[in-house]
Amino acid sequence: MRIWRKLTAAALAAAVFTLAACSGSGDSDGDSRSGQPQSTLRVALQEVTSNLDPAMYNVPANYILIAGAVGYLVSHPYQDFPYPELYQGDAQVINADVYEPELATDWQLSDDGLTLTMKLREGVKSPYGNTLTADDVVWTAQRNVALKTVGEFGMTVANIDKNNPVTKIDDYTVQWNLTARSPLLMKVMAWSWFAPIDSVEAKKHATADDPWAQEWLKENTAFFGPYHVTSFTPGQSATLSLNPNYWGEKPSITEIVFTSVPDPGNRQQLVQRGEVDLVPDLPRAQLTALQNNPNVQVVLQPQTRYSYLQYRAGVEPLDNKLVRQAISYAIPYDRIIKDVYRDTTLAARTPSIWLPNAFPELSPYTYDLEKAKQLLAEAGYANGFTVNLTYSMANPGPENEQVAILIADSLRQIGVTVNLQKPSSEAAFTTSMNASEFEMIIAGISPGAPDAGYALYVMGHSKGFQNFGKFSDAEYDAVSSQLISELDEAKRTQLIEEATRMYLDLMPATPIVNPLIGHVATPGLKNIKLGTWGVPYWKYATLEK
Amino acid sequence: MAVIEAPVERPTRRPARRRARIEVAIWCGALLLAVIASFIFGPTSKATTVMGSPLEPPSGEHLFGLDSYGMDVAARVASSARLDIGVALAVGVLVFVLAYPIALALGFWNTWWTKAILRMLDVFQSFPSIVLALTVVALTGNGVWNLVAASTFVFGPAFIRTVRSVVLSVRGQTFVEAALAAGVTPVRTLVRHVIPHTLGAAMAQTTIAVSRTIILVAGMAFIGVGVQPPTPEWGSMVQSGVAPMLNGAWWAALFPGLAIVLTVTAFDRIGTLLGSLTLEVDR
């Protein structure tokens, strides 16, 4: 008798389950708040970062929290997306060739191009009440070099002298020192790693063993921007509050509360019910299903972040370029665009994607299994081989698992057995990636300097910051090194073309797709403007009922 | 002259035991059929191959539809039976082989070391099972055998405590005391007198550990620990199918969920019936 009761209960539960699901997306109960413009923005993320240190800003979990809040030296204005043939929606992107003053009000490059004199805005204060001076810029630059941050890499590509990157001229004037002229200098000045840290406050927490206050900056922020972190539980939640001393126009949103909600179903329900205002990282299947939901808005915007499949040098047979080319021909690009991203992505033909002076037409790679098998046979692997593929659910996004499965399924058809490996957390994935502990890896990059030459350098040069596969080719290094020093525009375009051809032949990493950024938000959230890294700049956002 | 009539065996006892045995056989047969069916309808190649666009609804070609990876739900549900039932049975064997001797020892002897072990078991049992399992997996890594180890670690203490209580009860019986008094060694007493009277309870507890393992493994896969996609596993299938349910794609989570319910029910029922049969034998 008891067994029948259990089975009946199970059947009833299943029926309730099914009915709940068949009701579809359902109607929201409506926003729980009503009335006037809101000053608190609630954001649900798959994962809140566990480390606020600017030295760690190289993964989405970090900079989605902070990059939109720091005080930049310079910024870029916005323009309509300049490639309507690629994307016909209504979207604005940064104009990476134009610079606007922020904490730096004026800058002059010397005639020989080897020094950049920069004037700082006076009267700027951090949340701790300390005034921005040249000392903060100098300390931040030295910190970047000492800790080998992405900022230090920025100095490399901008040819900034790492032995003496910046000199204090007076309290409000600094001089950047270059070893050679660079077309990327001002682009890196717009990076968050060059955003000055309040060194007066940071030094209070420095010790002999920790001269750069890493322990303190792990859980605290000290910038001169519009927001700072007032509450932080690593990996779980964080709150950005308005800097009471902010120099600029007071943002409409004065508080941003981030909560980690790992399950995408829960995140969807939260934004549908109005319990959060923004979910920036829903899987595409859910995001596209919400496009006709009247209780939310789905905002799609072009961005420079794209996903790629990277190969570890020194791992047989991935160190054979024919094998890498074969794999590149075996990736089901169209299927990924259609089935995984539901046509909310652009193709990524080269590392330069659609950046100015890119050459996407040079890429020969389409989904061609016969060609892939032919190349494998030519490489001596007609019978295939076994390889590990590492991926995460956040870098670059929650679609990675589906992409990884599709790639593994496709590679199986050419005899390549792929073992999928998903580290237990984003932090573990980042550690593996940074330590080059993988055979193949799916990751994402948003070229920090939105420049085709920079993108080719960072992905393929032996010292490229995103070259976690430790790929190295002397000829490619020679060509791509010129990309960060050649100033003549025509010559540079020729070099970009040459480097693109070389890259597509050597294929250190295969670009996969360039997804549109998709945010699901309550209808009242407006002005979601994205910065260089595809993250929202919170100071522009407004929230109304 | 008084007539002494021989006692008549109550007619309800034997038929009830027969019915119980038949029911156990039916449930075991159903589980065996499920495993056989998993080889026929859920070969690994079919269960891990992308068949079409994600979340296609059930059709003639794909009876249970396709999941969010574009893989056949029916093939994956069937294929997963091998893994989930296999892991559960492996845990059952390990629990029986490792924990039963410990339970016998702890119930038969009463010394300082038995007390120390019991206190240690108290500590382990104070943790929620999923927390303990996650800790073991965190230390040993993801993977099927690590799951088996974690589940054995989680369910072993409960097995030991329950079977030990039966051992204690048998240990106090007169025939055991008589054997020891007659000079039979403790080990021989255990083997000849205690094990036969506790084996049924141990087997019942084993099936309970097996059914709880299925729930534990499914729960851990639900939170992304243990078996990784595209390896089919009921818990991870439910996990990846829950979010699409919000948008009407009910099939990806429902069918693996039903598989979990039916399998756990089968093992639970087997355990209950074995327990009742054991009680009948020991009367």
Write out pLDDT tens, residues B99-135: 999 999 999 888 888 889 888 888 888 888 888 888 8
SS3 A191: coil
- Rounded CA-CA distance A406/A404 in Å is 5
Q: Can you give the pLDDT at residue A12?
A: 62
Kindly report, residue by residue over A345-369, the tens digit of the pLDDT: 999 999 999 888 899 999 999 999 9
In this complex, the residue of A14, A338, A422 whose CB is nearest that of residue B228 is A422
Q: Which of A44-53, B124-133, B249-258 has the lowest mean pLDDT?
A: B124-133
Task: Examine residue B170 and state whether it is found in any structural domain, yes or no.
Answer: yes
Confidence of residue A8 (pLDDT cuts 50, 70, 90): low
Crossing angle, helix A474-483 and helix A489-506, to 10 degrees?
A: 150
Q: Can you give the pLDDT at residue B12?
A: 45
Q: Can you give the pLDDT at residue A32?
A: 44
Q: Count how many domains chain B has.
A: 1
Interface ipTM: 0.73
> What would the mean pLDDT of B139-158 be, rounded to a whole number?
86
Share of chain A above pLDDT 90, in %: 71
AA identity, residue A290: L
- Rounded CA-CA distance A401/B224 in Å is 12
> What would the mean pLDDT of B39-49 be, rounded to a whole number?
85
**Chain A residues with beta carbon closer than 8 angstroms to that of B246:** 21, 25-26, 265, 268-269, 286
Kindly report, residue by residue over B159-218, the tens digit of the pLDDT: 999 999 999 988 888 888 888 888 888 888 888 888 988 988 898 899 989 999 999 988
pLDDT at A5 > cutoff 60: yes
B-facing residues of A in 405-424 (CB < 8 A) are 405-406, 408-409, 412, 420-422, 424
- Rounded CA-CA distance A25/A272 in Å is 9
Q: Can you give the pLDDT at residue A175?
A: 98
CA separation, residue A411 to residues A328, A372, A423 (Å): 10, 9, 21
- Rounded CA-CA distance A261/A61 in Å is 13
pLDDT at A13 > cutoff 60: no
Q: Can you give the pLDDT at residue A16?
A: 53
Task: Examine residue B25 and state whether it is found in any structural domain, yes or no.
Answer: no
Longest CA–CA span in chain A (Å) reads: 93
Q: Can you give the pLDDT at residue A426?
A: 79
Q: Can you give the pLDDT at residue A33?
A: 46
Give me A342's structure tokens: 């539901």
- Rounded CA-CA distance A146/A89 in Å is 43
Q: Can you give the pLDDT at residue A27?
A: 39
Task: Examine residue B14 and state whether it is found in any structural domain, yes or no.
Answer: no
Confidence of residue A30 (pLDDT cuts 50, 70, 90): very low
Q: Which of A30-39, A120-129, A186-195, A290-299 has the lowest mean pLDDT?
A: A30-39
Taking an 8 Å cut-off on Cβ atoms, the answer to whether B53 and A263 are in contact is no
pLDDT at B76 > cutoff 50: yes
Where helices occur in A148-298 by DSSP H, the ranges are 150-157, 185-189, 199-204, 214-219, 264-272, 284-289
Task: Examine residue B105 and state whether it is found in any structural domain, yes or no.
Answer: yes
Confidence of residue A36 (pLDDT cuts 50, 70, 90): low
Confidence of residue A29 (pLDDT cuts 50, 70, 90): very low
pLDDT at B26 > cutoff 70: yes
Taking an 8 Å cut-off on Cβ atoms, the answer to whether B272 and A2 are in contact is yes
- The rounded radius of gyration (Å) of the Cα atoms in chain B is 23
For residue A269, give the chain B residue with the closest CA.
B246
- Residue B263, judged by CB atoms within 10 A of its CB (0-12, 13-18, 19+), counts as buried
Q: Which of A80-94, A159-173, A174-188, A347-361 has the lowest mean pLDDT?
A: A80-94
Task: Examine residue B95 and state whether it is found in any structural domain, yes or no.
Answer: yes
Confidence of residue A481 (pLDDT cuts 50, 70, 90): very high
Check CB contact of A16 with chain B, cutoff 8 Å. Answer: no
E-state strands within chain B = none
- Give B215 to chain A, closest Cα distance, Å: 14
- Rounded CA-CA distance A272/B176 in Å is 67
Q: Which of A64-73, A192-201, B32-41, B198-207 has the lowest mean pLDDT?
A: A64-73
pLDDT at A28 > cutoff 50: no
- Give B48 to chain A, closest Cα distance, Å: 8
CATH number at residue B273: 1.10.3720.10
Task: Examine residue B175 and state whether it is found in any structural domain, yes or no.
Answer: yes
Crossing angle, helix B234-245 and helix B195-222, to 10 degrees?
A: 40
pLDDT at A512 > cutoff 60: yes
Domain that holds residue B80: 41-50+63-282
**Chain B residues with beta carbon closer than 8 angstroms to that of A17:** 245, 250, 253-254, 257
Give me B55's structure tokens: 């979340």
**Chain B residues with beta carbon closer than 8 angstroms to that of A342:** none
**Mean pLDDT of all residues in chain A?**
90
Crossing angle, helix A321-329 and helix A489-506, to 10 degrees?
A: 90
E-state strands within A209-304 = 227-233, 237-242, 255-260, 278-279, 297-301
Is pLDDT larger for residue A126 or for residue A424?
A: A126
Cβ contact A308:A442 at 8 Å? yes
In this complex, the residue of A21, A264, A420 whose CB is nearest that of residue B250 is A21
Phi and psi angles of residue A514, each rounded to the nearest 5 degrees, phi first: -120, 85
Crossing angle, helix B195-222 and helix B144-171, to 10 degrees?
A: 150
Task: Examine residue B210 and state whether it is found in any structural domain, yes or no.
Answer: yes
User: Quick one: which of B62, B155, B68, B162 has its CA closest to B107?
Assistant: B162
User: If residue A45 lies in a helix (H) or strand (E), which one and from where to where?
Assistant: strand A40-45
Contacts of A196 (CB under 8 A, 6+ apart): A71, A73, A103, A132, A136, A137, A140, A223, A224
Domains and CATH numbers, chain A: 71-211 (3.90.76.10), 230-302+518-543 (3.40.190.10), 306-515 (3.10.105.10)
DSSP conformational letter for A125: B
pLDDT at A499 > cutoff 50: yes
Task: Examine residue B10 and state whether it is found in any structural domain, yes or no.
Answer: no
Is pLDDT larger for residue B274 or for residue A215?
A: A215
DSSP per residue, A464-512: -TT-TT----HHHHHHHHHHTT---HHHHHHHHHHHHHHHHHH-SEEE-
Q: Can you give the pLDDT at residue B260?
A: 94
Share of chain B above pLDDT 70, in %: 93
